[in-house]
Amino acid sequence: MNSERNTALTNEMIKLAFVESLRKLNPKTMRKNPVMFVVEIGFLVTIIMTFFPSFFGAESDFYYNGFVSIILLITILFANFAESIAEGRGKAQAESLKKTQKDLQARVLLEDGSYSYVCSKDLKKGDIIFVEAGELIPSDGEVIKGLASVDESAITGESATIIKESGGDFSSVTGGTKVISDQLTIRITSNPGESFLDRMISLVEGAKRQKTPNEIALNIILVSLTLIFLIVCVTLVPISGYVGVTIPIATLVALLVCLIPTTIGGLLSAIGIAGMDRVTKFNVIAKSGKAVEAAGDINTIILDKTGTITYGNRMASEFITVEDVKSVELTKAALLSSLYDETPEGRSIVELTKELELIEIEQNMKESFGVEFNAQARMSGTDFQNGLKVRKGAVDAVKEYVIMQGGVIPSDLDDKTKLIASKGGTPLAVVVDNKIMGLIYLKDTVKVGLKERFDQLRKMGIKTIMCTGDNPLTAATIAKEAGVDEFIAEAKPEDKIAVIKREQAEGKLVAMTGDGTNDAPALAQADVGMAMNSGTIAAKDAANMVDLDSDPTKIIEIVGIGKQLLMTRGALTTFSIANDIAKYFAIIPAMFMLTIPQMSTLNIMNLATPQSAILSALIFNAVIIPLLIPLAMRGVKYLPMKSTKLLSRNLLIYGMGGVIIPFIGVKLIDILLVSINLV
């Protein structure tokens, strides 16, 4: 699965959706959608009247009653078709994911140290398995021994391999991925049917989608409107009788169906399912529709600095000398300190010094050995056979080292350290024996285009907060360059939870991203927590979304999708309710104008006959549902702006459109019916 996978409708998908729409005619299924259930009851009433008019004590009008019945059936099928199409896309994605699942033979480590082969579907939580290069990982687990590169393209669609190792934030592995090099010992973390891939499959299958709180609330409103219009239609019978007008039951049913919000009632489920589908297109698995909707209401986003706001690959960009040290001396010392440093920072230092061709690297490596970085010393470097020691590391760590060696701290070291930090860089001090030679300026740049994206979030009324372990000066510089609203420097895991709780206490919804075990509490506390697929099991379990591409900035797109989902639902609800106005002007005059000629003044569309007016409104009511399916599936285009402006814009477009379009549509259908002599 990848973000570019094709979810276009196929002929097979359309056929399956049509069959499914027929199955959904079962009243047990239809009652889950109260609005369309009322339409189905209306259909049953009119179809009985068509063939057994005496059952209701009504006069027989076979063609009129039959025509109304057919239109009502088509209305129901169109509504079912919309939901089936949305579900079909999810099921198509699920089928592609199921191909990833295979019954593999897994080597389970026994207590005596030997291995036993078992089928992957029989693996249980806690089993220890062994996987070598070229083999598929049979189920979700956590690496407890070894280091290997893993191909996750079957899950994420990304070709780049990921290094997995025991401990740390890159220890979790997913079933269906492939070990490319070396070998891993893995502890299984899920029981059969509960793996990450199993959850993905069930989540993208629209049929299993739970209704969200907003959707439930809207359903209640639609049911209330349906009841109100039902009462209105029932009371029309005695009122019309009082003025000497007999209204056919089929006409009353048509009036009820046209007045209740059938358009949004038929599209509501499709909108929600399509919203989940748009999230999966971005290679993000939402554990519930509630999470997607919550993303649409987010007020605050908490983002990590390294790898999210900045590229995270700090590179040497400049050497800054101190006191009387010459530039050549510092450059040579920086190179010697990085001979054995295979980190991106170390390689960038070597690349920066290679241009000078000051020393023979190979000769120096023959006469020396490397000193690896460790958390206690916070330095790395090179020791030479002649006793020379060259180190580089954090400035405060190097200062302590020099003092212990009996050296002197240069007078301008602190000022130049602050200068680098003020530019948003990271300073590394270089020392030869006990003499500090100068500083290496490591630069971590803000991602291209991120400032503009934060500006968009600001227009949407969303506040951005950057959390970083950097010192306040560096954090302030990066925050200003990136354009975030606030920042927290020298942040610890508990600081993230504290800021989330602070924002939530102000009535705001908060989103954040994370990948480590130490991020799990904050991910669980946030209203929208998006974990990286490359992260730990704890982070993925705590979050309510998992990004398969492990791109922390994707939370910005998810917020946009959530807002688009809410806006689509609101726009189509506005359109649905607004177009009842035109149908009112079509049907009400048609019901009374033969007996009460004065009612004809309300026939502003100049519809030909009462039957033509009723059938035209009913046909438009049915046809508008499939016409809006593409919009429900694609979603209303979202533009970053304040909610008040967005509301005004949607009311203008979909409110006015909902009033004008039905007038045109009903009139055209009326002309067509008259021209083919159907009325």
Strand 141-151 and strand 183-188: the pairing is: antiparallel
SS3 192: coil
489 contact partners, CB below 8 Å, separation of at least 6 = 468, 469, 470, 471, 472, 474, 475, 476
Beta bridge partners of 487: 466
- In order of 232, 237, 613, the CA distances from 589 in angstroms are 16, 15, 9
Closest Cα partner for 351 from 331, 366, 371?
Answer: 331
Return d(Cα 258, Cα 587) in angstroms, integer: 9
Annotated binding site: 341, 345, 392, 515, 519
Return d(Cα 654, Cα 316) in angstroms, integer: 54
Asked whether 25 and 76 are in contact (CB, 8 A), the reply is: yes
Asked whether 397 and 431 are in contact (CB, 8 A), the reply is: no
- In order of 328, 546, 548, the CA distances from 561 in angstroms are 54, 15, 17
DSSP secondary structure code for residue 652 in this structure = I
Catalytically annotated residue among 151, 198, 304, 549: 304
User: Which regions of 91-140 does DSSP assign to beta strands (E)?
Assistant: 105-109, 115-119, 128-132
Q: How far is CA 102 from the centre of its chain?
A: 27
Return d(Cα 476, Cα 574) in angstroms, integer: 44
Question: Exposed e or buried b for every residue in 207-234, given b needs 16+ CB within 10 A?
Answer: eebebbebbeebbeebbebbeebeeebe
Question: Exposed e or buried b for every residue in 523-556, given b needs 16+ CB within 10 A?
Answer: bbbbbbbbbbbbbbbbbbbbbbbbbbbbbbbbbb
Return d(Cα 109, Cα 191) in angstroms, integer: 17
Backbone φ and ψ for 147, nearest 5 degrees, come out as -145, 130
Annotated binding site for ATP: 341, 345, 392
Q: What is the largest CA-CA distance in the chain?
A: 117
Q: Taking the chain, what is the end-to-end CA distance rounded to the nearest angstrom?
A: 53
SS3 109: strand
324 a catalytic residue: no
Asked whether 295 and 305 are in contact (CB, 8 A), the reply is: no
Return d(Cα 499, Cα 491) in angstroms, integer: 10
Asked whether 379 and 393 are in contact (CB, 8 A), the reply is: yes
Annotated binding site for Mg(2+): 515, 519
Active-site residues: which are they? 304
